[in-house]
C-alpha cells in the first residue's frame, strides 16, 4: 500500500510539473505583443507545439500601409535550449504535421520557430498589394519575429532554410547581421537575373558524367519523338485534373521535356530510371508526369507569389534548347517565366538587382557565422555562392559541397569529415 501511495504521489507530481510547463509556455506566448489565434498542435518530437499568428507591417517600418497576420509554428524543447528559426520561402503547412522534425533542432535539442513566408497560404495580406512583396520586407518580418519570440526564448538563435528558404535566411542575415548567432543555408540560390544564365551551362557541360548527360539528352529526344501520342495523354490528364495553361499544350509539353533535365539532377534521380526505348508510350507518359508534374506550369499554381518574386528580385533558371532544337517549335525560352508562370497583370514587372548586389557585397566583405551547404550535382548550386565566394581567409563563414549531392544535401548525409567540420563550427558558435 505504501509503495502504491509513493507511485501515485510521484505520478501526480510529474503531471503537475508538465501542466505547469505547458501553462508557462502558453501564458508566455499569449503575453507577446501582436500574437493571436494560438492553437495547440500534436507532436511526436516536441513536448509542446503551437501554431499562431503574428501581426506584421505590410511595408517594413511603415504602419500606415496596414498590417497582416503571418503564420508561425513553435516547437518547444526548453527555455534553457537554443532556438532554430526556420525562414520558410513558401507555405509552412508541413511544419504543422505531428511528425515534423527539423535537422538542426534535432542535432541541438533546440526549440523551433517556423515562419511562413509572406503572401503564401495563411500569410497573405488583404487586399493583396504586390508592391510590398519584397525580399527586404521578408527580412523585416523575420526580424520582428526574432525580436518578439526572443523575449521568451533567450538563449542562442540559429536561422536556417532550405532552397528558397536558404536564400531567405541569407538575405535576412545580410539585412540584420546581428539578429542570430549562426545561419545555416541549405542549397540556396542567390540569383542575379530573371534568367540567371548559369544553370544552362552547368547542365550541358558540368553536371554528372558525360555518359549520364548523353543518356538524358537521348531521353529528351525520345520524349520529343513520341510527342504526338504523349500529347494526347497529357491533354486528357490535364482535363481530368482541371489544369489550365497560359500557353498552348504543345508548348507546355516541350517545357516539361526541358524541365525534366533540371528535375532529374535536382532530386538526384538515377539515369537508370529512364525507360527503355522498347517501352510503351504510356510508360513514357507516366515517367515524365512523375518527373515533371504538368501542374508546375498550370495557371492555377500556388506558386504565383514566388514567380512574382522571381520577376522582381529573386531570379530563376533558364532552359537551353540545344538537346531538342530539331524537334521543337520554340524559338527561345528567355521570357518563359513571364509567358507561362504569372498572370498578365504581373508580366511587366521589372527585375531589380539591388538586393543581389547588397548581399554579394555583404558576403564578400564580412565574415558572419554562416554555413552554406550545396550538392555537387544540384543545378541550383550553379547560382549559389560556391562558384564565387572565397572563404579561404575567413574564420567563420564556409561553403560545403556534397560530392554528387542533390537538392537533398543536408548535414546528416554529408561525408563524415565535412559533417564534423560543420558541427564543430556550430558547436563553437552555440556555446
Last residue of some domain: 296, 312, 346?
A: 346
Same domain (yes/no): 42, 156 = yes
69: left (phi over 0), alpha (psi -120 to 50) or beta: beta
At 23 the pLDDT is 53
C-alpha dihedral sign at 373, 170, 101, 109: positive
Same domain (yes/no): 114, 64 = yes
Domain containing 412 — which CATH number? Answer: 3.40.50.1820
- Does residue 97 lie in a domain region? yes
Same domain (yes/no): 231, 332 = yes
Distance CA 116, CA 127 (A): 18
Same domain (yes/no): 336, 258 = yes
Same domain (yes/no): 100, 185 = yes
Same domain (yes/no): 92, 155 = yes
**Strand pairing of 157-162 and 111-115?**
unpaired
Q: Using alpha carbons only, what angle is made at residue 423 by residues 116 and 96, rounded to the nearest 5 degrees?
A: 25
DSSP 348-407: TPPP--HHHHHHHHHHHH---SEEEEEETT-GGGGGSSTTT---TT-SS-EEEEETT--T
- Does residue 229 lie in a domain region? yes
Same domain (yes/no): 241, 335 = yes
At 6 the pLDDT is 47
Same domain (yes/no): 58, 180 = yes
At 61 the pLDDT is 85
- Does residue 8 lie in a domain region? no
Beta bridge partners of 85: 113, 159
Sheet bearing 182-186, strands edge to edge: 35-40, 48-57, 67-76, 111-115, 83-87, 157-162, 182-186, 370-375, 398-402
Place of cell 509567358: 339
Where in the sequence is the domain holding 234, given as residue range(s)? 198-346
User: pLDDT truncated to tens, each residue of the chain (431 aa)?
Assistant: 544 444 444 454 444 444 444 558 999 999 999 999 999 999 999 999 999 999 999 998 889 999 999 999 999 999 999 999 999 999 999 999 999 999 999 999 999 999 999 999 999 999 999 999 999 999 999 999 999 999 999 999 999 999 999 999 999 999 999 999 999 999 999 999 999 999 999 999 999 999 999 999 999 999 999 999 999 999 999 999 999 999 999 999 999 999 999 999 999 999 999 999 999 999 999 999 999 999 999 998 899 999 999 999 999 999 999 999 999 999 999 999 999 999 999 999 999 999 999 999 999 999 999 999 999 999 999 999 999 999 999 999 999 999 999 999 999 999 999 999 999 999 999 99
Closest CA relative to residue 138, chosen from 103, 171, 174: 171
Same domain (yes/no): 100, 227 = no
Q: Using alpha carbons only, what angle is made at residue 155 by residues 149 and 161, rounded to the nearest 5 degrees?
A: 65
* Angstrom distances, CA of residue 419 to CA of 162, 165, 405, 411: 17, 21, 14, 6
When divided into structural domains, the chain yields a total of 2
Last residue of some domain: 321, 346, 371?
A: 346
Please give the DSSP secondary-structure letter assigned to residue 218: H
Last residue of some domain: 346, 364, 381?
A: 346
At 294 the pLDDT is 97
- Does residue 1 lie in a domain region? no
At 301 the pLDDT is 87
Same domain (yes/no): 290, 369 = no
Amino acid at each position: 500500500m505504501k509503495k502504491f501511495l509513493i507511485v501515485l504521489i510521484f505520478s501526480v507530481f510529474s503531471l503537475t510539473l508538465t501542466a505547469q510547463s505547458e501553462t508557462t509556455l502558453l501564458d508566455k506566448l499569449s503575453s507577446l505583443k501582436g500574437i493571436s489565434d494560438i492553437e495547440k498542435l500534436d507532436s511526436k518530437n516536441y513536448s509542446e507545439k503551437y501554431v499562431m499568428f503574428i501581426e506584421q507591417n505590410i511595408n517594413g517600418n511603415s504602419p500606415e500601409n496596414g498590417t497582416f497576420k503571418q503564420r508561425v509554428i513553435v516547437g518547444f524543447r526548453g527555455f534553457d535550449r537554443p532556438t532554430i528559426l526556420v525562414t520558410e520561402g513558401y507555405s509552412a503547412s508541413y511544419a504543422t504535421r505531428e511528425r515534423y522534425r527539423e535537422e538542426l533542432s534535432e542535432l541541438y535539442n533546440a526549440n523551433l520557430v517556423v515562419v511562413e513566408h509572406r503572401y503564401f497560404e495563411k500569410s497573405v495580406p488583404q487586399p493583396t498589394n504586390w508592391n510590398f512583396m519584397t525580399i527586404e520586407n521578408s527580412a523585416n518580418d523575420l526580424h520582428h519575429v526574432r525580436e518578439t519570440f526572443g523575449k521568451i526564448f533567450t538563449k542562442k538563435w540559429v536561422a536556417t532554410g532550405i532552397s528558397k528558404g536558404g536564400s531567405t535566411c541569407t538575405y535576412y542575415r545580410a539585412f540584420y547581421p546581428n539578429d542570430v548567432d549562426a545561419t545555416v543555408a541549405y542549397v540556396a540560390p542567390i540569383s542575379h537575373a530573371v534568367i540567371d544564365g548559369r544553370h544552362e551551362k552547368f547542365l550541358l557541360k558540368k553536371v554528372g558524367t558525360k555518359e549520364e548527360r548523353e543518356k538524358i539528352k537521348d531521353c529528351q529526344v525520345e520524349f520529343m519523338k513520341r510527342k504526338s501520342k504523349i500529347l494526347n495523354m497529357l491533354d486528357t490528364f490535364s482535363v481530368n485534373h482541371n489544369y489550365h495553361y497560359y500557353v498552348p499544350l504543345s508548348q507546355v509539353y516541350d517545357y516539361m521535356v526541358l524541365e525534366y533535365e533540371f528535375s532529374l539532377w535536382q532530386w538526384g534521380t538515377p539515369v537508370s530510371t529512364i525507360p527503355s526505348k522498347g517501352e510503351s508510350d504510356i510508360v513514357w507518359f507516366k515517367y515524365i508526369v512523375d518527373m515533371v508534374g504538368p501542374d508546375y506550369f498550370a495557371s492555377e499554381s500556388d506558386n504565383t507569389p514566388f514567380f512574382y518574386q522571381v520577376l522582381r528580385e529573386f531570379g530563376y533558371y533558364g532552359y537551353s534548347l540545344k538537346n531538342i532544337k530539331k524537334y521543337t517549335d520554340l524559338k527561345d525560352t528567355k521570357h518563359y517565366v513571364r509567358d507561362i508562370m504569372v498572370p498578365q497583370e504581373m508580366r511587366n514587372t521589372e527585375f531589380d538587382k539591388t538586393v543581389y548586389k547588397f548581399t554579394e557585397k555583404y558576403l564578400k566583405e564580412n565574415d558572419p557565422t554562416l554555413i552554406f551547404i550545396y550538392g555537387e550535382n544540384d543545378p541550383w548550386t550553379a547560382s549559389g555562392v560556391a562558384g564565387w565566394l572565397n572563404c579561404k581567409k575567413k574564420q567563420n563563414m564556409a561553403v560545403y559541397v556534397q560530392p554528387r549531392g542533390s537538392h537533398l544535401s543536408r548535414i546528416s548525409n554529408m561525408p563524415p569529415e565535412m559533417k564534423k567540420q560543420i558541427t564543430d563550427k556550430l558547436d563553437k558558435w552555440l556555446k
